Amino acid sequence: MTEKKFMAGNEAIAEAAVQAGCRCYFGYPITPQNEIGEYMSWRLPQVGGCYLQAESEVASIYMVFGAAGAGTRVMTSSSSPGISLMQEGISYIAAAELPCVIVNMMRAGPGLGGIQPSQSDYFQATKGGGHGDYHMLVLAPHTAQEAVNLTMLAFDLADKYRNPVMILGDGNIGQMMEPVEFKSPEKPFVARKEWIVTGAKNRPRNIIKTLFLDPVILEKRNLAMGAKLREAVKNEVRFEPYMIEDADIVIAAYGTVARIAKTAIKILREKGLKVGLLRPISLYPFPYQAFAQTAERVKSILVVEMSLGQMVEDVKLAVCGKSRVHFYCRVGGMVPSYDEIVAEVEKIAKEVK
Amino acid sequence: MGKVVIDEEFCKGCTLCINACPQHLLRTAKRVSKTSYHPAELVDPEGKCTGCGLCALVCPDAAIQVYREKKAGVKEK
Amino acid sequence: MEMEMVSGRPKTLLPVPTHYCPGCGHGVIHRLVAEVIDGLGIREKTVVVAPVGCAVLLYNYFDVDAYEAAHGRAPAIATGCKRVNPELVVFTYQGDGDFAAIGTAEAVHVAARGEKITTIFVNNAVYGMTGGQMAPTTLLGQKTTTTTSGRASETAGFPIRMSEMIATLPGAAYVARVSVSSPKNVAQAKMAVRKAFETQIKGLGYSLVEFLSQCPTNWHMTPVESVRWVEEQMVPYYPLGELKVPKEEY
């Protein structure tokens, strides 16, 4: 049994990455995820890896491009404004089919916004913030241990699909300390990398590029990207149904808000209200089927987000009107308390009677 | 004694070699090459080309091969 | 009398006609870099990072592993690659828009870090691929499609001397400015490229070679007029020479 360590989410993610074989980290300081870079700065050299603080998030993402193209496991991390700067690079990384992991500890926006927790980058992360048809796979942990597991998974998914994978958290997930253990996956994914740039010795030269001026060729690439993403949608949907089997009302929430919803559910259950939670873990691919099936049986779904309503649109897409979708949010870095959620559910319960 | 061979697959008739040749032995050909340029051509009836290679130095398309008379008995450099 | 070929196409330069305009400096610069790679015998461990600009397609001409970078980001990609494989010889090949405009931060910091890579910076005073707009290196008074009555400093500022700027950084070990406007300059340019690559191979720090390069099409000149323009107009503002050589002289 690997021993448990008491770590903050940010540092747990960094350690998980190193144990998953990450050997390059390029990043830039930005609250609330500074600890990831700080941790990597002394940890990566211990394993012969490379830590480099770049001149900007723009440079960071292209250093990731270079290192991924050279065949190593590579990660960067930032927070909302920095992730916005990386969008072009992420589009290039997806287009060049380069595996990498990008951690976004969201903070309140828009603009410089605040540093408190937020979920207002959901659209940017899941609908693709850069140009062109592509998607990152997006995984949203709600505990430090889950952040560890999902970070390790992210490196395997990045190699498996040759695609960028995002760990989407916030200041809570990053700063909160919880016991974690690092179990390396039974059979780590070994990727074939004959396409990497290592010097054209005894082989034709490899070219990692994304410019395809001939639309016939570019269409083929776009369609291939589409097919790859459909594979991911088929195989990589992850969610947690929590006390949902007998629920009349289901809360939809992920990350920090899902933790709070679980507390609210405990209280509501004590008050005799049968409430459950459907928690997306993969935000892309989104668990549409799970919500569709839930909507068959449940009259009301309450979506709770720390944004003006982004995931709620995907819930509505999945539910297709089969049950009523309610929405509650706190924004600007304000985090909903469990009693606010309890009150919202009670209001819905009254309407349903 | 020397000579140059201009590969018309690459020459775009840019005339930089003509401008560089100290002996003025290159000129723009009247005919049009397969690649639809008027290529440079060597006109050296009196064999004045020394194989100095200045033309090849400035050629943007590596279209010029320079030849020099093989000196008898000189070791390969 | 039997003739032997004394100069032809370097092995690293693929036998592929280029897309560059007749007389364009890129072609000469490509040949020089390929000749140096052949000369140093490093083709199999060289990686080039292509820019966005006329030279974006240079991986069709160099028989080496390559990346194609986003505009201005080649030094960052090169850094990522070099940090993974320090034994590779990594160089970026960038135009003035790439290196002196959008990629200025990357240009300054790759040198400030003393990253052991080489940059071939092609300064042709305009944006070539997009049809001749002003570049950061466009000279005062020079007409371009975005300075139709000549670049005026009041509105469009002053041309940037990148080599002088980079040379002040301790991480920059070798900085030279050269041109391909005449046989003599081409020969000297080749030596500078060789020294730059040797600086990298010896791990002495960052190396930069700035090429003044003619762009007949967008300068609306014949190739011969354009090389003359380089020497009469560009060289006075962008003096040629080695601005910095590593302390450990060759």
Query: What is the set of domains in chain C, with CATH numbers?
Result: 26-244 (3.40.50.970)
For the cut 80, the answer to whether the pLDDT of residue A352 exceeds it is no
pLDDT digits (tens, 9 = 90+) for A256-313: 999 999 999 999 999 999 999 999 999 999 999 999 999 999 999 999 999 999 999 9
Residue range of the domain that includes A191: 5-235
What mean pLDDT is reported for chain A? 96
Same domain, A108 and A245: no
Whether C84 has its CB under 8 Å from any CB of chain A: the answer is yes
Same domain, A154 and A228: yes
All chains having 3 or more CB pairs closer than 8 angstroms to chain C? A, B
Q: Which residues of C fall within a CB distance of 8 Å from A47? A: none
Whether C18 has its CB under 8 Å from any CB of chain B: the answer is yes
Are the Cβ atoms of C26 and B60 closer than 8 angstroms?
yes
Q: Which residues of A fall within a CB distance of 8 Å from C69? A: 62, 65
Same domain, A279 and A216: no
Q: What is the pTM of this model?
A: 0.96
CA dihedral B66, B69, B72, B77 (to 10 degrees): -20
pLDDT digits (tens, 9 = 90+) for C47-101: 999 999 999 999 999 999 999 999 999 999 999 999 999 999 999 999 999 999 9
Are the Cβ atoms of C4 and B70 closer than 8 angstroms?
yes
Residue A186 is predicted with a pLDDT of 72
Are the Cβ atoms of C8 and B65 closer than 8 angstroms?
yes
Residue B70 is predicted with a pLDDT of 84
Same domain, A207 and A275: no
Are the Cβ atoms of C8 and B66 closer than 8 angstroms?
yes
Same domain, A230 and A258: no
- From the list B9, B53, B69, which residue is nearest C7 (CB)? B53
The pLDDT confidence band at residue A3, using thresholds 50, 70 and 90, is: confident
Min Cα separation C140/chain A (Å): 31
Nearest to A259 by CA among A138, A141, A167, A118: A141
Min Cα separation C161/chain B (Å): 25
Please state, in angstroms and rounded to a whole number, the distance separating the CA atoms of residues B2 and B13.
Answer: 22
Evaluate whether A303 touches A324 at the Cβ level (below 8 Å): no
Q: How many CB pairs under 8 A join B and C?
A: 90
Whether B27 has its CB under 8 Å from any CB of chain C: the answer is no
Instruction: Identify each DSSP E strand in A136-248 by its residue range.
Output: 137-139, 164-170, 177-180, 207-208, 239-242
Evaluate whether A82 touches A28 at the Cβ level (below 8 Å): yes
Nearest to A55 by CA among C42, C108, B51, C139: C108
Same domain, A315 and A207: no
Same domain, A57 and A151: yes
What's the average model confidence in pLDDT over C102-128? 98
Q: Which residues of C fall within a CB distance of 8 Å from B51? A: 3, 6
The pLDDT confidence band at residue C144, using thresholds 50, 70 and 90, is: very high
Same domain, A41 and A131: yes
Interface test with A, best of C47, C56, C58, C84 (most A CBs within 10 A): C84
What is the per-residue DSSP string for C111-176? HHTT-S-EEEEEE-SEETTTTSEE-TTPPTT--BTTBTT---HHHH-----HHHHHHTSTTEEEEE
Residue A191 is predicted with a pLDDT of 80
Q: At A102, which CATH number?
A: 3.40.50.970
Cα distance between the two ends of chain B = 18
Same domain, A128 and A175: yes
Q: At A318, which CATH number?
A: 3.40.50.920
Residue A351 is predicted with a pLDDT of 86
Residue A353 is predicted with a pLDDT of 63
Tokens of C12: 């690293």
pLDDT digits (tens, 9 = 90+) for B9-19: 999 999 999 99
Contact flag for C and B (3+ C-beta pairs < 8 Å): yes
Please state, in angstroms and rounded to a whole number, the distance separating the CA atoms of residues C242 and A341.
Answer: 69
pLDDT digits (tens, 9 = 90+) for A67-89: 999 999 999 999 999 999 999 99
The pLDDT confidence band at residue C249, using thresholds 50, 70 and 90, is: low
Residue C4 is predicted with a pLDDT of 87
What's the average model confidence in pLDDT over B24-32? 97
Asked if the bond preceding A204 is cis, omega within 30° of 0, the reply is no
- From the list C65, C69, C109, which residue is nearest A197 (CB)? C65
Whether A28 has its CB under 8 Å from any CB of chain C: the answer is no
Same domain, A33 and A140: yes
- From the list B3, B19, B57, which residue is nearest C187 (CB)? B57
Spatial CB neighbours of C210, under 8 Å, sequence gap ≥ 6? C121, C123, C162, C163, C175, C176, C177, C178, C238
Q: Examine the fold and report which residue of A205, A235, A265 is the final residue of a domain before the chain moves on.
A: A235
Contact flag for B and A (3+ C-beta pairs < 8 Å): no
Same domain, A223 and A244: no
How much is the ipTM here? 0.95
pLDDT digits (tens, 9 = 90+) for A209-243: 999 999 999 999 999 999 999 999 999 999 999 99
Question: Where are the alpha helices (H) located in B8-70, listed in sequence order?
Answer: 16-20, 54-58
What is the per-residue DSSP string for A323-343? SEEEEEE--TT----HHHHHH
pLDDT digits (tens, 9 = 90+) for B53-73: 999 999 999 999 999 998 766
Evaluate whether C85 touches A228 at the Cβ level (below 8 Å): no
Evaluate whether C159 touches C210 at the Cβ level (below 8 Å): no
Q: How many CB pairs under 8 A join A and C?
A: 125
* Structural domains in chain A (count): 2
The domains found in chain B, sorted by start residue, are: 2-68 (3.30.70.20)
Same domain, A200 and A181: yes
Nearest to B22 by CA among A95, C27, C184, C152: C184
Please state, in angstroms and rounded to a whole number, the distance separating the CA atoms of residues A79 and A34.
Answer: 9
For the cut 60, the answer to whether the pLDDT of residue B76 exceeds it is no
Task: For residue C212, give the amino acid letter.
Answer: L
Q: Examine the fold and report which residue of A217, A235, A253 is the final residue of a domain before the chain moves on.
A: A235
